[in-house]
């Protein structure tokens, strides 16, 4: 019975839509508030059984590092066009 109660509390905390899907320690801190007998090892075991847990980093993706400030921003708001065909500007 106690293991089922711990499992239910951990499931409720981890799958919470507003504050859930946190780290092991965040889940542990929230679980201890509701059930003081929960240990960090209980949380680790619970999360190890979950399919939604990311086990490995994504492959083939890396972060982009710009060589100078604001390099990654492209200014598309200015449109240059020829206003008049004569050599004098109005």
The domain locations on the chain are: 2-48
Report phi then psi at 5, rounded to 5.
-65, -45
**Cβ atoms 12, 30 nearer than 8 A:** no
Q: What is the pTM of this model?
A: 0.55
The residue among 33, 46, 36, 40 whose CA lies nearest residue 4 is 46
Position 1 scores a pLDDT of 39
pLDDT digits (tens, 9 = 90+) for 32-82: 999 999 999 999 999 888 876 666 666 666 666 777 776 666 555 555 565
Position 40 scores a pLDDT of 94
Q: How confident is the model at residue 17 (pLDDT cuts 50, 70, 90)?
A: confident
pLDDT over 50 at 28, yes or no: yes
**Cβ atoms 13, 20 nearer than 8 A:** yes
């Amino acid at each position: 019975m106690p293991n089922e109660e711990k499992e239910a509390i951990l499931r409720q905390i981890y799958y919470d839509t507003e504050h859930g899907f946190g780290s092991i320690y965040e889940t542990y801190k929230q679980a201890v508030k509701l059930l003081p007998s929960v240990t960090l090892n209980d949380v680790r075991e619970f999360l190890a059984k979950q399919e939604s847990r990311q086990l490995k980093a994504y492959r083939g993706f890396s972060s982009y590092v710009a060589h100078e400030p604001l390099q990654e921003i492209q200014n598309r708001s200015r449109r240059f066009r020829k206003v008049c065909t004569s050599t004098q500007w109005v």
